[in-house]
Amino acid sequence: MATIAKVRHCQGTDTAAAVRYGVAVGAVAVAYALQRAIWPLVPPSPHLFFYPAVFLAARVGGSRPGYVATALSTFAIAHGFLPPTGLFAIQDPSDALDLAIFFAVCIGISAAVGQLHEALKREQRAAVVAREAKQSTDETWSMVAHDLRQPLSVINMGSTELGRRATTPPDMEKMLQLIQRSTHRARDLIDHALDAMRAAEGKLVVAPAPCDVAELCAHALDAVALLGERKGVKLDSDVSARHAVACDQPRLEQVLTNLLGNAIEFTPRNGVVSLYADETDDGIVFSVRDTGRGIPADEIGAIFTKFWSSAHSPGTGLGLWIAGAILEAHGSKLDVASRVGEGTTFSFTLPIVHEGSAPRAALA
């Protein structure tokens, strides 16, 4: 896919260049035809229509097409309008000087207008980037604001009920648990929104350091243990890696917790979600495997995109995108393998910490 995209980009670039230089040649040809048309009637300056041709070529295509138009115009004037007829067969020194001045002026026009052309293109690109960044931020906060309504409403109703009527201890415990879950949900939504904006702006910082693999996995499993218990999903793990891994521990725990939470969410009761950490020649391979419904083949390519969602995937659609951005900042990549009806496995590889090595901070 990357090769195809590169080929298409090259084809598009070649086409654009052909258009720019085609405009230069066409503008000079039109200028020559107009000059020839009026020449027998009123022989004005032979440069009359060639200055606009050079300006148009530089304005549309930049400096280089302007230079081409300048060279072609100089040739056309010398060949068709300065006696005697022939290629640069100019007898009058004043004509030669006039042509040299025309050439120099047109080179200056091409350079100046070409710089303006490039400046305008840079401004347009910057405007597009700024507009896309603003749109992305607006979409992020719009999504978060929409999804925050539900947990905040639950918190409001629950706290109102607790204050309005006397409740028995079991009812109070149930209400407090509901408020706690909603509070955690609201906090996660805000954290996801902030991480999404940092990643989009290239400001998602990771500070890799030697981390104990078993400890990482234990923390991630502890974070989702209650969710698995409530869902009736068994959590399993097999951590065979013995060396430390180079990573930003809080960020990697965030990735593992997100993958485990998603796996639990899409695994039916009595299913199994497993976390593996295996040591290979390439590094430590982390895998999260579930026995859930699996992901259809036509959705595999879209699950890592920002705001992705489906009929079976509620939420903001930021979790996997953020996890991918965190791993990309680590120099890794999140892979997925899935079969409908059997389950899904997400995996990624991080480097082993060797003695004397010092992992460095990185930006997403």
Residues 116 and 162 occupy one common structural domain: no
Task: Look at residue 133 and tell me if it is in a domain.
Answer: no
**pLDDT at position 283:** 92
Task: Look at residue 139 and tell me if it is in a domain.
Answer: no
Is the Cβ–Cβ distance between 48 and 35 less than 8 Å? Answer: yes
Total of domains in the chain: 3
The continuous run of DSSP H or E covering 245 comes out as strand 245-247
CATH of the domain at 281: 3.30.565.10
- The token pair at 91 is 């007898």
Q: What is the pTM of this model?
A: 0.51
Task: Look at residue 77 and tell me if it is in a domain.
Answer: yes
**pLDDT at position 181:** 59
Residue 328, burial from CB neighbour count under 10 angstroms (0-12, 13-18, 19+):
middle
**pLDDT at position 4:** 43
Residue showing tokens 């917790």: 257
Residue showing tokens 């204050």: 163
Boundary-marking domain end, from 168, 185, 200: 200
Residues 194 and 310 occupy one common structural domain: no
Boundary-marking domain end, from 200, 220, 239: 200
- Range of the structural domain that residue 177 is part of: 146-200
Residues 110 and 218 occupy one common structural domain: no
**pLDDT at position 317:** 59
Task: Look at residue 141 and tell me if it is in a domain.
Answer: no
Residues 285 and 337 occupy one common structural domain: yes
Task: Look at residue 137 and tell me if it is in a domain.
Answer: no
Task: Look at residue 135 and tell me if it is in a domain.
Answer: no
Task: Look at residue 140 and tell me if it is in a domain.
Answer: no
Residues 315 and 238 occupy one common structural domain: yes
**pLDDT at position 7:** 42
How far is it, in rounded angstroms, from Cα 162 to Cα 169?
11
Residues 103 and 25 occupy one common structural domain: yes
Q: How far is CA 159 from the centre of its chain?
A: 42
**pLDDT at position 89:** 58
Residues 121 and 165 occupy one common structural domain: no
**pLDDT at position 175:** 62
Residues 6 or more apart in contact with residue 49 via CB below 8 angstroms? 30, 31, 32, 34, 35
Residues 308 and 357 occupy one common structural domain: yes
Task: Look at residue 277 and tell me if it is in a domain.
Answer: yes
* Tens of each residue's pLDDT in the chain, 364 residues: 444 444 444 555 667 788 888 888 998 999 888 888 887 776 667 878 888 889 888 888 888 888 998 989 888 888 877 776 555 556 677 778 888 888 898 888 888 888 887 888 888 787 777 676 666 665 655 555 545 555 555 565 565 666 555 455 666 666 666 666 556 656 665 665 666 666 666 666 778 899 999 999 998 898 888 888 888 999 999 998 888 999 988 889 888 988 998 899 889 999 999 999 999 988 999 999 999 988 888 887 767 676 555 545 555 556 787 788 888 888 999 999 999 889 999 999 999 987 655 454 455 5
Residues 303 and 336 occupy one common structural domain: yes
Residues 117 and 194 occupy one common structural domain: no
Helices 213-231 and 249-265 cross at an angle (nearest 10°) of: 30
Residues 340 and 227 occupy one common structural domain: yes
- Which pLDDT tens digit goes with each residue over 111-132? 888 888 788 888 878 777 767 6
Boundary-marking domain end, from 200, 215, 245: 200
Residues 103 and 223 occupy one common structural domain: no
Residues 6 or more apart in contact with residue 93 via CB below 8 angstroms? none
